[in-house]
Amino acid sequence: MLVGYARVSKTDDQDPGLQRRALKAAGCNRIAEERASGGRWGRPELHRLLGELDEGDIVVVWNLDRLTRSLKDMLLILEKIEAAGAGFRY
30-35: strand order across its sheet? 30-35, 2-8, 58-61, 87-89
Q: Which of 1, 9, 17, 79 is catalytic?
A: 9
Active site residue 9: yes
- Contact predicate 87/59, CB 8 Å: yes
Residues serving a catalytic function are: 9
